Structure 1
Amino acid sequence: MDITELILEQHIQQRRLFALLDEVPLDDTATLGALWHLLARFLEVHAKAEEEHFYPLVLQLHADAPGDGDDAEDETVDAVKDHNEIRDAIADAANHEVGSTGWWQAVRDARTANDEHMGEEEHDDLTAFRRVADLQTRHDAAVRFLAFEARHLGGVARTHPDPEQYVREHRPD
């Protein structure tokens, strides 16, 4: 088990769930609502698990690698900002009737923010992490990540962490 592979696999699941929404008849709001509820919860738990069990390691391990600390801080700030954009879109969707124009716009906003986040994470954060983290560290992080998700199957409290404050709290001193 490897945290980077786990995150990549979950990104595939997220893309598939968004695609499933596209396949549901527009007038089947019960199915749309059920799928969206599942996807929204998955996105929020995944983001929180990354903030609890991936990005603190990114900051720690990159701080130990010459020249990488500032990049890790910038990437982490960007990731938390992305998570907040996804959370904001999920919250906006809750303000609209499922299947309405406003709801679909919020779902598209969540999808766009999530697609951008996944792309950046896959090209930058996960790649850089694999370069500095040994297999045991990646395995241990994956176990903690999955345990967190298992404990939060019902969802997590919606948070909106300040990205700069998050980095200050999690970077090694």
Structure 2
Amino acid sequence: MDVTEVILHQHAEQRRMFAMIEEWPRDDEAGLDALWKRLEILLEVHADAEERFFYPELVRLGTGGGDAPSAQEEVEDAIKDHNEIRDGIRAVRRCEAGSDKWYAAVLETNVANSDHMAEEERQDLTDFRHHASLTLRHDLAVQFLRYESQHWARGVKPVDKDPEEFVEEHEA
């Protein structure tokens, strides 16, 4: 197991679930609501697990991957992205499933999440693969998956974080 592979696999699942919502019959509000709740839990638990296990180690070990100047910038941007995804999730919750406003909020969340995943795959995961040992990557995968398994049924409480404070806390 490798935490970067776990993250990539979950990104694929997130993309698949957004696609399912796009293809689902628009008049099946109960089905749309159920799909969204499953995706919401996946997004929230995934982001929380990254913030607990992956990003602290990236701040400690990384130097900047892809087009990122530093690991600190990568992580600040990722935390900001997670906050934007949480904003989108909150917007979806305020709408009736299947309504035009609901679809607009789902699309907003999809765009924020897609942008985040692309950047994370190009920068953060690349940087981590270059600097983390295989043992650390395995150990983080175990912690990440254990945490997600424990929180899959109910999710986690979404909590926005200050990107700069997050990096400062984990640099020490």
Could you say whether these structures have the same fold, taking a TM-score greater than 0.5 normalized by the shorter chain as the test? Answer: yes
Q: Give the match's secondary structure for 1:52.
A: helix
Asked whether 1:135 is paired with 2:109, we answer no
Partner of 2:149: 150
Helix, strand or coil for the counterpart of 1:54? helix
Q: In structure 2, how many angstroms separate the alpha carbons of the residues matched to 1:29 and 1:92?
A: 17
Q: Give identity over the alignment, percent.
A: 51
Answering whether residue 97 of structure 2 is matched by residue 102 of structure 1, we say no
Q: What is the CA–CA distance in structure 1 between the aligned matches of 2:132 and 2:158, rounded to whole Å? A: 30
Q: Distance in 1 between matches of 2:32 and 2:135?
A: 40
Alignment partners' CA distance in 1, 2:104 and 2:23: 16
| SS of equivalent residue, structure 1 residue 131 | helix
| Counterpart code for 1:59 | V
**What is the CA distance between 1:144 and its match in structure 2?**
0.5
Q: Deviation digits for residues 35-56 of structure 1, max 9, x if unmatched?
A: 0000011000000000000000
1:51 matched to which residue of 2? Answer: 51
1:23 Cα deviation from its structure 2 partner: 1.4
**What SS does the aligned partner of 2:97 have?**
coil
Partner AA of 1:133 in structure 2: A
Distance in 2 separating the partners of 1:52 and 1:32: 30
Q: Any stretches of 5+ residues in structure 2 without a counterpart? A: none
TM-score by structure 2 length? 0.94
Equivalent residues in 2 for 1:77-116 (5 A)?
77-116=76-115
List 4+ stretches of structure 1 deviating above 3 A.
none
DSSP 3-state at the match of 2:91: helix
Offset at residue 113 of structure 1 (A): 0.4
In the alignment, the residues of structure 2 paired with residue 155 and residue 55 of structure 1 have an alpha-carbon distance, to the nearest angstrom, of 20
Q: How far apart are residue 90 of structure 1 and its match?
A: 0.3
CA drift of 1:59 comes to 0.6
Q: Which amino acid aligns with 1:12?
A: A
Superposed CA deviations along residues 45-91 of structure 1, whole A, max 9, x for unmatched, are: 0000000000000011126x9xxxx6100000000000000000000
Residue in structure 2 matched with residue 117 of structure 1 by the alignment: 116
Structure 1 residue 107, shift from structure 2 partner: 0.4
